[in-house]
Amino acid sequence: MSRFAVIKGKHYRIFFDEELKSLRRFLRRGNYSSVIILTDSNTERLCLPKLVELCKLKNYHSLSIQAGEENKTLSTAEKLWEQLLPLADRKSVLINLGGGMITDIGGFAASVFKRGIDFIHVPTTLLSMVDASIGGKTAIDFANHKNQLGTFAQPKAVFISTAWLNTLPKEQLLSAQAEMAKQALLGGLNEWQQFVLNIDKVEFIEEQISEAVKFKLKITDKDLYEVGQRKQLNFGHTIGHALESFCLLKEKPIPHGIAIAGGMICELYLSVKIFKPTENIFSEQIEFLKNNFPKVDFKEKDVDDVLSFISSDKKNIKGIIKPVLLKRMGKPYWEKEVTIDLIRECLNYYNQL
């Protein structure tokens, strides 16, 4: 891919631009009454100075929140709104400079502030480039449950630069690779083989990000509000979110993708149990996920706690749990009810791996 490229979504554009000239142009043309940049404590230090320099920003305000999923909360959002009050009006723009935590909470805060102000995403983690900044879901966690409050709201644009990845810790790269593995499983056998072949080839990173963005946009542009095929993107997330919430509750947060890798192993196990395929499918994929991603640590006695998070998953309707399953590679199915006993079995299976 060239050093500058644009992907046109139905609602906004995604710019691949290492020098962020397109962002500079966007801000100039937007003629905004004020520009506010939201960072977390890490991106404030590692990314904000570079963004200000590259975009030659002079008149801007910056707001920062403590890094970490445990801060993606209503009380943080409330503090943000208090800080926005004297700085922002309906012609202001909020730039979310950070990982998925920042794009989720910043998108949420902007989408309801004065009934919605413009916001843009400048994702700085691989996970936010390939997933969180795309698709227009915003969220905060509530009452220890992941993403319970949120809106569907589209950014005005997304600006991706792989230069941010130079400072990203390795476990955060791994976290993103889990979401990319999810996309490969949903894509089909070819996509999976390509993913496995290229997973560690840094020279393909821009290609991989671009493919991931196109994959997610293709689905979310057709089904913005998740009434149909967008549901497939929740593969690994019914159990993954429960594992992530459980670790948050125990004050041992884990990267989002690591929880999703665990969730995918469990949901592949459920898929085999439910669809009973004749061939031995998914054993290679389970083995790959097991070998490439750290296992989520919980004890047998904790299974009930994890199950209670699954029972209160926001996707459940009338308490019925329908995780996304795979009939085979590239064939997701999301209409099958799964019993709590079978989910308990898959958690015990995962725990003993």
Binding site for ligand NAD (CB under 6 A): 40, 42-43, 46-47, 67, 69, 72, 98-102, 104, 124-125, 127-128, 131-132, 135, 137, 139, 147, 164, 167-168, 172, 175, 255-256
Q: 155, 259 in Cβ contact below 8 A?
A: no
Contacts of 228 (CB under 8 A, 6+ apart): none
How many CB atoms sit inside 10 A of residue 228's CB?
A: 11
What are the helix and strand counts (H, E) for the chain?
Answer: 14, 11
CB 239 within 8 A of CB 261: no
Position with the least CB separation from ligand NAD? 100
For 92, half-sphere exposure in the C-beta direction (CA atoms, 13 angstrom radius) is 25
Tokens of 242: 């429960």
Q: State in angstroms the smallest separation of the CB of 184 from ligand NAD.
A: 16
Q: Please, what's the b/e burial string for 134-169 (b: 16 or more CB within 10 A of its CB; e: otherwise)?
A: bbbbbbbbeeebbbbbbeebbbbbbbbbeebbeebe
Amino acid letter for position 180 = M
The nearest distance, CB 28 to ligand NAD, in angstroms, is 25
Select 101 or 217, whichever has its Cβ closest to ligand NAD: 101
Task: Please report which helix (H) or strand (E) contains residue 328, including its range.
Answer: strand 325-328
**Distance between the two ends of the chain, CA-based, in angstroms?**
39
Q: In the complex, what is the shortest distance from the CB of residue 247 to ligand NAD, in angstroms, rounded to a whole number?
A: 12
Residue 176 C-beta: closest distance to ligand NAD, Å: 7
Tell me the two tokens of residue 296: 């989520």
State the minimum distance, in angstroms, from the CB of residue 153 to ligand NAD.
10
What span, in angstroms and rounded, lies between the C-alpha atoms of 329 and 192? 8
Would you say 88 or 158 has its CB closer to ligand NAD?
Answer: 158
Rounded CA separation 4/124 (Å): 17
Largest CA distance in the chain: 64
CB of 303 to ligand NAD, least distance (A): 23
